[in-house]
Structure 1
Amino acid sequence: MRVILAEDSALLRDGLRRMLTDEGYDVAAAVGDGAALLAAVSAAEPDLVVVDVRMPPTHTDEGIRAALEIRRRWPSVGVLVLSQYVEQKYAVDLLTGASARVGYLLKDRVADVGEFLEALARVGSGGTAFDPEVVRQLLRRTTHTDPLSRLTPREQDVLAEMAQGHNNPSIAARLHVSQSAVEKHVKAIFDKLDLADADGYSRRVLAVLRYLGS
Structure 2
Amino acid sequence: MRVVIAEDSALLREGLVQLISMVGHEVVAAVEDAPGLIRAVDEHEPDVAVTDVRMPPGNSDDGLRAALRLTRSHPDVGILVLSQYVVRGAAAELLENATSGVGYLLKDRVGDVHELIDTLERVASRGTVIDPEVVRRLLGRQRNRTVLDRLSPREREVLALMAQGRSNAAIADLLVITEAAVAKNISGIFTKLDLRVAAQDNRRVLAVLAYLGN
Q: Could you tell me the TM-score, scaled by structure 1's length?
A: 0.91
Q: Quote the offset at 1:205 in angstroms.
A: 3.2
Q: Which runs of 5+ in 1 are unaligned?
A: none
Q: Quote the offset at 1:203 in angstroms.
A: 2.5
Superposed CA deviations along residues 70-128 of structure 1, whole A, max 9, x for unmatched, are 10111011100111021112222112222441111111222111111111100001111
Amino acid at match of 2:70: I
Aligned partners of 1:153 and 1:100: how far apart in 2?
A: 30
Residue 209 (structure 2) pairs with residue 210 (structure 1): yes
Matches within 5 A, 1:168-179: 168-179=168-179
Matches within 5 A, 1:116-195: 116-140=116-140, 141=142, 143-144=144-145, 146-195=146-195
Residue 52 (structure 2) pairs with residue 52 (structure 1): yes
Residue 97 of structure 2 aligns to a residue whose secondary structure is coil
Cα gap change, 1:97 to 1:209, in 2 (>3 Å): farther
Paired position in structure 1 for 2:37: 37
Residue 30 of structure 1 aligns to a residue whose secondary structure is strand
Amino acid at match of 1:60: S
Matches within 5 A, 1:5-84: 5-84=5-84
Task: Note if contact 2:109-2:116 (Cα within 8 Å) is conserved in structure 1.
Answer: yes
Aligned partners of 2:136 and 2:157: how far apart in 1?
A: 9
Q: Quote the offset at 1:149 in angstroms.
A: 1.7
Task: Note if contact 1:99-1:205 (Cα within 8 Å) is conserved in structure 2.
Answer: no
The CA RMSD over aligned residues, in Å, is 2.0
Identity, in percent, stands at 52
Task: Note if contact 2:76-2:99 (Cα within 8 Å) is conserved in structure 1.
Answer: no
Residue 110 of structure 1 aligns to a residue whose secondary structure is helix
Matches within 5 A, 1:86-97: 86-97=86-97
Superposed CA deviations along residues 150-208 of structure 1, whole A, max 9, x for unmatched, are 11222111101011111111011112233232222111111101124268xx9333211
Residue 94 of structure 1 aligns to a residue whose secondary structure is helix
Aligned partners of 1:204 and 1:120: how far apart in 2?
A: 24
Superposed CA deviations along residues 8-61 of structure 1, whole A, max 9, x for unmatched, are 111110011011111111111000100111111111111110101111233220
Aligned partners of 2:183 and 2:143: how far apart in 1?
A: 24
Amino acid at match of 1:143: N
Q: Which runs of 5+ in 2 are unaligned?
A: none
Aligned partners of 2:153 and 2:144: how far apart in 1?
A: 15
Amino acid at match of 1:205: R
Residue 104 of structure 1 aligns to a residue whose secondary structure is strand
Q: Quote the offset at 1:148 in angstroms.
A: 1.4
Aligned partners of 1:82 and 1:58: how far apart in 2?
A: 18
Aligned partners of 1:180 and 1:99: how far apart in 2?
A: 28
